[in-house]
Structure 1
């Protein structure tokens, strides 16, 4: 088998691409190229043949909206150190990231690029080969090499400690910066040093490397498992954004890979949590800390950076399982920042709860006290206002009907990735697919920012069906509840939620809930919400 270095050269020598520019993708390969692309895809979890075959200085389309292109930025913006951590990154994607920073950043604002090698073992990333190849580049580039695998979190702190710029800008090692990406980030920090701005993250296809504009109306959140998610902004915020389409968008959390932060503020805030390992959860920890301790996480619609979105990571967690590392990191997030809602996370993730006595977070708890940070309840009420964690105002638990109390309303993840309402045998365990919130604003909600809603089968039809859809405040997702008879009446249709004829032998599964004309005598419409306990005495 050839070495990774010779392997990289061999890929380059087989390419016969017509020149692809302006962010276009490569979708047609020769049979030989396709075979090589398939056999090497797992090396970095993207198409190495295509990446190595397109220019590391390719042109990109103008992504910004017209109103962003005419903004005049202040003079004397702060300088930035761009910090890029990599571990066994492909040479072409690393170089494309570096060149995009150089080519699309004003020289007077780019203090330096700091590369932090997290113990790569590929020959072309080692000293002196990478160092020599970067010498001709027209900017100051520092390479810091870890002597052992330390993970993204600690590697970023290594880079931050060496940085000389006024602002730290963190990028992943498979990005492409677009025209005008940097000035909005630095302007925001000049106006408010406690603002932590993020660019809109555009999508670089992992197979074709086509550049696709990201969605500006999304902002960061998290699900019950404390996994980062993109959710649509609340309707009121979306309307406000349309009035000021170039203004910053408040984001409850950041994705974590791409953001800028004032260097001194980063230090004052406590940098990253050094007790966290490798990667995972650090973005939520920093987001909660920023918001609860007086700062702001924002997405700037006039700043765009592309990112290769991979379906899985090619890297392992040395000496540890990924699950154990992630649970330990998330436990630290919950213990330090989430107050009583940490118990809800523990109920959803009992493995993390069992690790609780073996992990010391006392230093970070002291940091929170020192910074005089606000409560997690404040964060939910003022920042993540459309959250879907249970509150004392909500009815929370499993939903059954009088017709069959052993069958619970649930949701199912289809092979297409779509979540659909369903019914299933009630489980004794605390399982999120059977947990529902009936909120004080009359919506039936569940994990992943989803609302039980209705959809018309045809525009000309009077037939409606139940669906799960991201909560957006539409009239189709509101239900009037009569507790005495347990009836949920949909405001849009006037129809009532009912349990189905339970089993569909043609599909080998339970049927989903249905809508029927409201009848108080129909047991299928008589719902009970069996409360689920999640506070510490119930763990």
Structure 2
């Protein structure tokens, strides 16, 4: 072989060496990238595992607007306010009403999709469907498209504690329990949510305990709630009574209409956008059988207003109210929560107030107590009025952890009050009636917070309710605070000083809104509001324990001072939960 013959071979050898070096470099790059990705994945998994170990499991549904947070309910023991129920948040904005046609308002679009929402799972919509859902959201202040795609007999998980299964086996036999009349008031409710409420009652209740279901139509004008609803009701296997009001009467009087027609031994009130779970009814009736003066409520689970996902409610909450007489959920005190966990987590939770939407009460006891105050209008404050009356007149209010009912919580009301009536005036009038009859000297503190309610007193006639209180030999409000809501945060109504902290040169006021209820929070200064702002108002009150004075804000928050971690000689003024579930005092003698 000559030189000419070997030259191409040498060229090919050089080319191969060069090509292999390139491939080696590329291979090293690929290996490096894969190694980086593997490390990133492992690090992410470690972070998630650490987060779960520290915070517990967290599950999120699609989109931030419809996130569903699942947290161990026991972790909420001793932590402030979490949820507002029963406060009017405003009507459907006029611009949204203007964009809705009569056909959109009156058409029943219930058309279930197989598997949609089954077992309480969220409904997932396409981008186009989400636009349609946003357009019609204001009709009922929830995702109507999602609701209409879910079957009225959808399945739900059994979310009761494991101990509740054993508890259910110990209940009296069904034949020994009192029967009940289910009373559901509705006004322009969506067909799918109303039908699902009724169907869930029927499917998850022993029929022998359902004496009847009473529907009270508070003067709805949706066409599908006329003949179409009546045809649906005729197909049901339970006795149904449909009462139609001839004018808008409101929730309170509509419930009175239903109660007057009821023949069951127990009255069970439900809202028109609920879903009952397995075993929800028997614990309520069993408790009333044992104690006829017990007014019992289920754990209220959350049905997401966007996705209709079913989320287990937090058990260790009980009802209270803030300075402005708005119902609030407050966490059970830590010592009480620990005691329950050690002894019997299925035991009833004693509650100072109830949300009022879902509860059962012995019919005769309901009548003996004076039912609802018939002079309270539409809705608002009736739950507090009944709560005070039950407790002060010989009854008890309890939340039963082994009874669960889901409820669609809306951020605003989709319904107008009657044209001639102001929502603010109605609410203030109702609360003034509550205060005048049941709160004794503490009503004066409420009137400092709400001068609008105070101004309505001359127009009120509460003489009949005061006579009822005397007839029933009811206890005073001081007894209620000392024995029922021992950890209340109401200062003495007459001696407390109330006002703002104003910085004169900047004309700014001290704000006390916490970023996380129950946690320490640095206060802020902001523009002073012209009207009432609960986060700008402070109360200077003396301590009954002779521990100086307290500077209190609403929602059980107090001013305190704590040492800086970096400098023990520096004290930082903070807002925190009033210590020890008492009214609290200043850690550094503030004031």
Please report the TM-score for the alignment, with normalisation by the length of structure 2: 0.74
> Aligned-pair distance for 1:338?
0.5
Report the counterpart of residue 524 of structure 2 in structure 1: 422
Give the secondary structure class of the aligned counterpart of 2:107. Answer: helix
Counterpart pick for 1:297 among 375, 397, 408: 397
Which residue of structure 2 lines up, in the alignment, with residue 84 of structure 1?
184
Aligned to 1:53: 149
Q: Tell me which residue corresponds to 2:368.
A: 268
Report deviation, 1:420: 6.0
Cα distance change of structure 1 residues 427 and 38 upon mapping to structure 2, 3 Å threshold: closer
Over 3 Å counting, the alpha-carbon distance change for 1:284 and 1:131 in structure 2 is same
Instruction: Pick which of 460-469 and 146-155 moved more.
Output: 460-469
Q: Does the CA-based 8 Å contact 2:106-2:224 persist in structure 1? A: no
**Corresponding residue to 2:538 among 435, 452, 458:** 435
Alpha-carbon displacement from aligned partner over 1:125-169 (angstroms, at most 9, x marks no partner): 11x321111111111111111111100000001000111110000
* Partner residue of 1:451 out of 548, 558, 565: 558
The one of 169, 176, 180 aligned to 2:268: 169
Q: Report if the CA contact (8 A) 1:235-1:472 is conserved.
A: no
Residue number among 189, 205, 220 corresponding to 1:120 in the alignment: 220
Q: 2 CA distance for matches of 1:114 and 1:171?
A: 10
Higher radius of gyration, 1 or 2? 2
Matching residue of 1:139: 238
Does the C-alpha gap of structure 1 residues 461 and 50 become closer, same or farther in structure 2, counting only changes over 3 Å? farther
Aligned to 1:384: 485
Match of 1:353 in 2: 454
Deviations 1:12-53 (A, max 9, x none): 3xx867533111112x32233112101100000000000000
Secondary structure in structure 2 of the residue aligned to 1:303: strand
Distance 1:4 1:398, change over 3 A: closer
Match of 2:171 in 1: 73
Q: C-alpha separation between the residues in 2 aligned to 1:444 and 1:302?
A: 39
Instruction: Trace 1:12-411 onto structure 2 (pairs within 5 A).
Output: 12=111, 19-26=116-123, 28-71=124-167, 72-75=170-173, 76-126=176-226, 128-242=227-341, 243-318=343-418, 319-391=420-492, 396-397=497-498, 410-411=510-511
- Segments of structure 1 that go 5 or more residues without pairing to the other structure are 482-486, 489-526, 528-539
With 48-57 and 380-389 compared, the bigger mean Cα shift is at 380-389
- Maintained 8 Å contact 1:399/1:408: no
CA distance, structure 1, for counterparts of residue 381 and residue 499 of structure 2? 29
Deviation at 1:468, TM superposition (A): 3.0
Which segments of 5 or more consecutive residues in structure 2 lack a partner in the other structure? 1-100
2:586 to 459, 475, 479: 479
Cα separation, 2, equivalents of 1:376 and 1:474: 20
How far apart are the structure 1 equivalents of 2:283 and 2:113? 39
Q: Is this contact kept in 2: 1:105–1:182, CA < 8 A?
A: yes
CA distance in structure 2 between the partners assigned to 1:43 and 1:156 by the alignment: 23
C-alpha distance in 1 between matches for 2:187 and 2:557: 36
Q: Which has the higher contact order (CA 8 A, sep 6+)?
A: 2
2 CA distance for matches of 1:6 and 1:454?
A: 58
CA distance in 1, matches of 2:246, 2:528: 52
Give me the TM-score of the superposition, normalised by structure 1.
Answer: 0.81
Q: CA RMSD in A?
A: 3.2
Give the direction of change, closer, same or farther, for the CA distance of 1:143–1:429 in structure 2 (3 Å limit). closer
Richer in helix (by share): 2
Distance 1:38 1:344, change over 3 A: same
Change over 3 Å in CA distance of 1:436–1:97 after alignment to 2? same
Q: CA deviation at 1:471?
A: 4.1
Alignment check: 8 A CA contact 2:538 2:551 kept: no
Query: Displacement of 1:398 after TM fit?
Result: 5.6
How far apart, in 2, do the equivalents of 1:131 and 1:415 lie? 49
CA distance in 2, matches of 1:301, 1:101: 18
SS of residue matched to 2:136: helix
Q: Does the C-alpha gap of structure 1 residues 454 and 201 become closer, same or farther in structure 2, counting only changes over 3 Å?
A: farther
Give CA deviations for 1:498-529 in whole Å, capped at 9, x if unaligned: xxxxxxxxxxxxxxxxxxxxxxxxxxxxx4xx
Q: Looking at secondary structure, tell me which structure has more strand per residue.
A: 1
In structure 1, the partner of 2:63 is none
